[in-house]
Amino acid sequence: MSTRINPDFKNELTHFGKDEWNECYHCGNCTAICPLSKDGFLFPRKDLRAIQMGLQDKLDASLEPWLCYYCGECSETCPRDANPAELMMTLRRYLTSRYDKSGLAKLFYTNHIWEYVVLGLMFLAIVVAFLVFLPLKTDAALMVNESGGVMINSLVEGINAERFIGIIEYGDWTMAIVIALLLVSNIVVMFYKSVLSENGIRIPFSSYFTEAWQLVWNFATQSRFSKCDDKQYWIGHLLLMTGYTIMFILVVVFLPLFQIETVEPWWHWQRLLGYYATFGILFFLTIVTIKRLQKRDVKLKYSHPSDWIFIVMLALTTISGILVHIFRLQGMVAATYYTYVIHLAILVPMLMVEVPFSKWSHLAYRPFAIYFARLKTVAAEVEKEKSHKELVPAVGS
Amino acid sequence: MEKTRIGVYVCWCGTNIAMMVDVEAVAKEMESRQNVVLARTYKYMCSDPGQDMVIRDIKEHKLNRVVIAACSPRIHENTFRKALENAGLNPYMLQMANIREQNSWVHSDRIEATRKAKSLVAGAVSRVNHHQPLNKREVPVNPASLIIGGGISGITAALELADAGKRVYLVEKESELGGIAAMLDLTSPHFYSISDSLKTLIRRIEVHQNIKVYMDSQVKQINGYVGNFNGEIKIGNKKVKNIDFGNIVVATGLKPIKPETIENYGYGVFSEVITSLDFEQVLKKGSVLNAYGIKPKNVAIIHCVGSRNEDYKPYCSRTCCMTALKYANMIRSALPEANVYQMYADMRAYGKHCEELYADTSGKNVLFLMYDQREGMPIIEKDAIGPGVLIKFNERLSGEDIEVPAELVILMTAMESGKDAKSISQMTGTSLDANGFFIEKHPKLDPVSTTTDGVYVVGSCQSPKNIPESVSQARAATANILATIAKGYVEVEVITAEVNEDICCGCQFCIQVCPYGANNYDQRKAVSSVNEALCKGCGTCGSACPSGAISTRHFTDKQILSQIEGIMAEVGSG
Ligand SMILES: Cc1cc2nc3c(=O)[nH]c(=O)nc-3n(C[C@H](O)[C@H](O)[C@H](O)COP(=O)(O)OP(=O)(O)OC[C@H]3O[C@@H](n4cnc5c(N)ncnc54)[C@H](O)[C@@H]3O)c2cc1C
Ligand code: SF4
Ligand code: SF4
Ligand code: SF4
Ligand code: SF4
Ligand code: SF4
């Protein structure tokens, strides 16, 4: 069966980032230099080809964009300045919009005004909800503990600390579950397109389990990333990722242990973890922001609106979190309450929009793509061995 | 009599010879041969230091014969003859042994190859003992020239010579001048209009007092030799004109193949499919329309149609890649919304401003699709759902089997040698290569001369060429011709046959066999005689003569037999 080419397809990628697809003349230098392109998953040239020719099904099924960590080496060696690294980034955005069946991801990527609108509305909704349903107590000024810190869970009118924590925890879990469901359904789409619908490939059942460690390992260490030349970038990213994950776990799983009424000494584990997380996030954010503004480093030269939204939202969340912490230690009750509300009003929309529908989804897509790629490699190896056995009859037969 | 003193030089040719032949051993072996005074080896004998060494030795060691074991004499015999001449020796006291083309390049056993080299050199040494000094002959040059073919190459050559004040006869078989260039619109890579320039050139030719143009004419016969040719030209259907000239420029160009012969492209079956020359005519009309008069939404340009394919033409037609890029640009400006596809096998964008045109075209939303002739050529069929045709093939850069709809398909057809190439090569005593293109004397160092003195081959009759290349060749040939005319005389070959009148029995066999009509019968003396001006020294008469009365200078029986003896004699092994 031959595929009819579709040169108009590339227009669908407009607004996802790169929108010039003609420069590449397929010398293959990029694929040759890429430290991550191997084992039957060769990129970025082939993906560029698929775009030029409009092979949409092929692109939708491709895992390669997730296997690329944007080290930029390919773009640096390209003789035609075709910028293949940015192409891979563009494809990650495009694929995110393809996995998401709601159409929101596509809407946000192609028209970021909508993203502002949704983020803004959610911000307002949370602020209003607090002011209406969980307003500041009239006698809140009394809610200071023996060390002079604000008792943060006891600031709301008519609700005691346990109930408050309960409500927030309930909200956290609901949010986490919604996000998880969205991500899982997207990953199912990815799995279907990249693995199941490929003809003639049979994944050995056992490999689903034997390869599962890839998921955890790659999520936790991003070991593929470490193979790029710029190791500092990988460490910075690891700081951000671990900091963020720690914060997420503290806030969602251990909220009652983290958001407490007393002020623990600075060396207490939960404060130390909090500081590490804050430092990790801020450190990497600062570096990335500077580099994105400088536009010198090839991997941070081109910034899509979604990149900036991500950075700004994360920075605002972190800064508001730090402010809550400071105000609380200083015993500034009203300031603590209002910054806490603002903190949540930034954090929640950020997570709800960014994780399932935008840049942050890569935290799930990358490890799963590596896992699926591994499964396909195993399947191919098994297949090769089988045909090899058929070709070489056993001795004596 | 002066004592024979031979110098032997064995060339390494870099590693070309030295890798397969132990040159030192060959030289050593020769040292002990009779009359050999010295035997040396050197990295590059043809280089200036190599020649200087020979000249120095001739003077210091009083050498009077030289053997050079190196490449083919076709390449450097003249070089070394000149060196001998510079050292004050008669140039014919040289003998070359070809130990490269006939030895190191074709063998793989070093020991055997060395042995063979020794034999070949021994033959040369043995032969050179019997060399005789020969004296060159000079004949005056007729300053008029004949130019065959009135394309851009012929036109350029004609004007150059005529502007230098020399008489030119320009013979064109068609009723118009300009050749293929006259059929072109703008040209790659600069998008100059060649028709505008051509019009000016042709007008100048028509009024030039030094140029006589014969339109609708063909050359029927050519006799003579450099400086003194004579030819017959058939004008129109009947009139035959006889002219004299001193040099000949062959500029007969080439022609596109018939794409009907390549069935998978459906030329002649689908009106959507046209050739590059057809498309030039479309462009000349000023708008890009297909045969149905509609503006195509998809235009496909297929490269290498009949080129680079053992079943058709094995060679690259050289100008079509750039012409195809030219089309892509012109279609892009005429139809900004159309999809333009280049279906290519390899992109050949060599040369000044060509890669730039390629890069530039890539940026104009032109899709380059690669195919591999060995995996199967594109196949054109009717599109079942669309208005035009479908082109199907395996696209190499994606690995996909694809189909491309198109309402206009341009075939970049291969170029083949002109249909008169054979008869002209016979008339002018030049040769054609396996593809029917004229062979130049030396592909690098003498690219417009031929092995026949006074005959030049320029432009695309040699091989497909673009306009700048054709024009440069035409100008190169005219520079050569003007130099010959300025010198006023030419040296003609002295290696001719001679008749020993005492032995000749007058049987006239030689007259029957001579391919150049150089033998005459002298009624009064009742013997044959040789017209040295016409004789090419081919030796045919010598082998035919039953009385052994004819021998060819520099190829006497004695010389040849002693060479064979030398080769057959025992040599040291390894
Ligand atoms: C479709 C196409 C597009 C091209 N586009 C470009 C371009 O964009 N840029 C570029 O640089 N080049 C281009 N070229 C190449 C260019 O056309 C040639 O380089 C040029 O025409 C060669 O000129 P020529 O005089 O050597 O041969 P020709 O143009 O072939 O002229 C030969 C002449 O000799 C005559 N002749 C043949 N046999 C005889 C005979 N026996 N007796 C008398 N006369 C005879 C012929 O009638 C003809 O007039 C293109 C070629 C083609 C086919
Ligand atoms: S993107 Fe650049 S390096 Fe890669 S194949 Fe294309 S031209 Fe070559
Ligand atoms: S950016 Fe780096 S990892 Fe990504 S394709 Fe280019 S070289 Fe490979
Ligand atoms: S010039 Fe290009 S199109 Fe023409 S034969 Fe050569 S490779 Fe093919
Ligand atoms: S630069 Fe040289 S090697 Fe490269 S494409 Fe041109 S001719 Fe070939
Ligand atoms: S050597 Fe050849 S060309 Fe000369 S007369 Fe004899 S046959 Fe004729």
Residue range B182-193, pLDDT digits in tens: 999 899 999 999
pLDDT bucket at A397, cuts 50 / 70 / 90: very low
In this structure, is residue A390 part of a structural domain? no
Q: Where is B401: in which H helix or E strand?
A: strand B401-406
The whole-number pLDDT of residue B530 equals: 92
Residue B574's pLDDT band (cuts 50, 70, 90): low
Residue B303 belongs to what H/E stretch? Answer: strand B298-305
Taking the C-alpha atoms of residue B460 and residue B441, their distance in angstroms, rounded to an integer, is 16
Higher-pLDDT residue of B211 and B75 is B211
pLDDT at A388 over 90: no
Q: In Å, how far are A73, A308, A311, B136, B371 from A292, measured between CA atoms?
A: 17, 9, 10, 81, 41
Q: Pick from B347, B363, B403: which is nearest to A4 by CB?
A: B403
Q: What is the largest CA-CA distance in chain A?
A: 93
Q: Is B451 helix (H, G, I), strand (E, B) or coil?
A: coil
Tell me the pLDDT band of A393, cut-offs 50, 70 and 90. low
Number of the ligand 3 atom closest to the C-alpha atom of A75: 6
B395 close to A (CB below 8 A): yes
- Give A210 Cα–ligand 3 centroid separation in angstroms: 28
Mean pLDDT of B371-384: 92
- The Cβ of residue B545 has, within 10 Å, a number of other Cβ atoms equal to 22
CB B87 within 8 A of CB B62: no
- Count, residues in chain B: 574
Question: What confidence tier does A256 reach under pLDDT thresholds 50, 70, 90?
Answer: confident
DSSP strand pairing (B366-370 vs B339-344):
parallel
Does residue A31 share a domain with residue A150?
no
- Which ligand 2 atom is the nearest neighbour of the CA of A74? 3
Confidence of residue A215 (pLDDT cuts 50, 70, 90): confident
User: From atom 6 of ligand 6, which residue's Cα is the shortest distance away?
Assistant: B541
- B530 burial (CB, 10 Å; 0-12 / 13-18 / 19+) is buried
Shared domain for A93 and A111, answered yes or no, is no
How large is the average pLDDT for residues B324-346?
Answer: 96
Mean pLDDT of B506-517: 90
Q: Is A27 in the pocket of ligand 2 (CB under 6 A)?
A: yes
**Beta-carbon separation of A53 and B395 below 8 A:** yes
How far, in Å, CA of B351 to CA of A126, rounded?
A: 67
- State how far the alpha carbon of B386 is from the alpha carbons of B316, B390, B392, in Å: 34, 9, 14
Name every chain B residue with its beta carbon within 8 A of the beta carbon of A26: 368, 370, 397
- Kindly list the residues from chain A whose CB atom is less than 8 angstroms away from the CB atom of residue B392: 2
Give me the mean pLDDT over the A221-245 stretch: 88
Q: What value of ipTM does the predicted structure carry? A: 0.79
Residues A165 and A294 grouped into a single domain: yes
pLDDT in tens, B282-308: 999 988 999 999 999 999 999 999 999
Q: Give the 3-state DSSP-derived string for B535-568, with helices as H, strands as E and coil as C.
A: CCCCCHHHHHCCCCCEEECCECHHHHHHHHHHHH
Give the integer Cα–Cα distance in Å for B493 and B518: 14
Q: How confident is residue A145, by pLDDT bands cut at 50, 70 and 90?
A: confident
Residue B28 contacts by C-beta under 8 Å, 6 or more apart in sequence? B39
Q: Is A351 within 8 Å of A175 (Cβ atoms)?
A: yes
Residue A253 has pLDDT above 90, yes or no: no
Is there a single domain that holds both residue A284 and residue A192? yes
Give pLDDT, residue B573: 66
Same domain, A64 and A191: no
pLDDT in tens, B394-419: 999 999 999 999 999 999 999 999 99
Higher pLDDT, B455 or A393: B455
pLDDT more than 70, % of chain B: 99
Of A102, A132, A97, A84, the residue nearest A13 (C-alpha): A97
Q: A4 or A200: whose pLDDT is higher? A: A4
Q: How confident is the model at residue B376 (pLDDT cuts 50, 70, 90)?
A: confident
Cβ contact B368:B321 at 8 Å: no
Whether the predicted pLDDT of A339 surpasses 90 = yes
Q: Which ligand is nearest to the CA of B554?
A: 6
- Contact between A4 and B406 (Cβ < 8 Å): no
Q: From ligand 6's centre to the CA of B256, what distance in Å? A: 39
* Together in a domain, A52 and A160: no
- The CB of A244 under 6 Å from ligand 3? The reply is no
pLDDT at A395: 52
- What are the DSSP calls for B139-158, one per residue? EE----EEEE--BHHHHHHH
Helix (H, G, I), strand (E, B) or coil at A43: coil
Spell out a b/e string for B460-470, using b for 16 or more CB atoms within 10 Å of the CB, else e.
bbbbbbbbebb
Integer Cα distance of A239 and A277 in angstroms: 8
**pLDDT tops 90 at residue B219:** yes
Q: Are residues A50 and A66 in the same domain?
A: yes
pLDDT bracket for residue A394 (50, 70, 90): low
Q: What is the mean pLDDT of chain A?
A: 90
Coil, strand, or helix at residue B521?
A: strand
Contacts of A57 (CB under 8 A, 6+ apart): A3
Q: What is the pLDDT of residue A266?
A: 86
Q: CA geometry: angle at B194 spanning B190 and B195, to 5°?
A: 150
Q: What is the DSSP letter of B383?
A: -
φ/ψ (deg, to 5) at B169: -110, 115
DSSP-assigned letter for residue A395: T
- β-bridge mates for residue B405, sequence order: B390
Cα-Cα end-to-end distance for chain A: 39
Q: Which two tokens stand for residue B68?
A: 């050079």
* Closest CA to ligand 4's atom 1: B318
Instruction: Report the phi/psi class of residue A170: left, alpha or beta, with left for phi > 0 and alpha for psi in -120 to 50.
Output: alpha
If asked whether residues A214 and A153 sit together in one domain, one would say: yes
Question: CB atoms < 10 A from the CB of A310, how many?
Answer: 19
Indicate the pairing of strand B519-522 with strand B527-530: antiparallel
Which residues of chain B neighbour A3 with C-beta distances below 8 Å?
400-403
Q: How many CB pairs (< 8 A) connect A and B?
A: 54
Q: What is the pLDDT of residues B21-46, one digit of tens each?
A: 999 999 999 999 999 999 999 999 99
pLDDT > 50? residue A396 = no
Residue A305's nearest CA partner among A88, A19, A122, A93 is: A93
- Rounded CA-CA distance B333/A211 in Å is 55
CB contact under 8 A, A22 and B363: yes
Kindly state the tokens that stand for B315.
């060679």
The verdict on B300 touching A (C-beta cutoff 8 Å) is no
* Lowest-confidence pick of A21-25, A134-138, A258-262: A258-262
CB B444 within 8 A of CB B306: no
Q: What stretches of B215-353 show up as alpha helix (H) in DSSP?
A: 276-285, 320-334
Q: Classify each residue of B294-331 as buried b or exposed e, where b means 16 or more C-beta atoms within 10 Å of its C-beta.
A: eebbbbbbbbbbbbbbeebbebbbbbbbbbbbbbbbbb
Same domain assignment for residues A78 and A128: no
**Total tally of structural domains belonging to chain A:** 2
> Which residue type sits at B466?
N
Q: Is the CA virtual torsion A55, A60, A62, A65 positive or negative?
A: positive
Residue B498 Cα distances to B94, B230, B504, B533, B557, angstroms: 21, 24, 11, 12, 13
Do A158 and A287 lie in a common domain?
A: yes
In a domain, A396, yes or no: no
* Contact (CB<8Å) B402/A3: yes
Q: Which domains does chain B have, with CATH numbers?
A: 6-135+558-568 (3.40.50), 145-253+418-490 (3.50.50.60), 256-405 (3.50.50), 497-553 (3.30.70.20)
High-pLDDT (> 70) share of chain A, %: 98
Cis peptide before A44 (omega within 30 of 0): yes
Task: Measure A39 CA to ligand 2 centroid, in angstroms.
Answer: 20
- Which of helix, strand or coil describes residue A119? helix
Is the separation of the CB atoms in B174 and B126 below 8 Å? no
From chain A, the residues in CB contact with B364 under 8 A are 22
| Binary contact (B398, A53; C-beta < 8 A) | yes
A135 in a domain, yes or no? yes
Q: Which domain holds residue A31?
A: 9-99
Q: How many Å from the N-terminal Cα to the C-terminal Cα in chain B?
A: 37
| B345 close to A (CB below 8 A) | no
Interface test with B, best of A8, A14, A21, A25 (most B CBs within 10 A): A25
Average pLDDT over residues B260-268: 94
Residue at A264 is within a domain:
yes
Return d(Cα A318, Cα B126) in angstroms, integer.
99
Of B557, B560, B535, B533, give the one whose Cα is nearest residue B547.
B557
In this prediction, residue A270 carries a pLDDT of: 84
B250 CA to centre of own chain? 11
Residue whose token pair is 């964008």 = B349
Does A173 share its domain with A288?
yes
* Least confident stretch, A221-235, A320-334, B55-69: A221-235
Residue B213's nearest CA partner among B159, B279, B271 is B159
Contact A56, A97 (CB under 8 A): no
The values of phi and psi at residue B138, to 5°, are -115, 135
- Would residue A47 count as lying in a domain? yes
Are A244 and A277 spatial neighbours (Cβ–Cβ below 8 Å)? yes
What is the Cα–Cα distance from B393 to B380, expressed in whole angstroms?
9
pLDDT of residue B187: 95
Whether residue A276 is contained in a domain is answered as yes
Q: Exposed (0-12), middle (13-18) or buried (19+): which is A391, by Cβ within 10 Å?
A: exposed
Mean local confidence (pLDDT), A329-349: 93
Lowest mean pLDDT segment, chosen from B209-223, B246-260, B531-545, B555-569: B531-545
Greatest CA separation for chain B: 95
Give, in order, the Cα–Cα distances in Å from A276 to each of A196, A316, B490: 41, 17, 95
Report how far ligand 2's centroid is from the alpha carbon of B458 (Å): 40
Question: Do A161 and A252 have their domain in common?
Answer: yes
Average pLDDT of the residues in A177-198: 94
Please state whether beta strands B401-406 and B389-394 pair in parallel, antiparallel, or not at all (unpaired): antiparallel
Neighbours of B561 (CB within 10 A): 13
Chosen for mutation from A1, A3, A5 (greatest number of chain B CBs closer than 10 Å) is A5
Mutate to test the pocket of ligand 1, among B235, B252, B257 (most ligand atoms within 8 A of CB): B252
* Helix, coil or strand: residue B181: helix
The number of the ligand 3 atom at minimal distance from the alpha carbon of A299 is 1
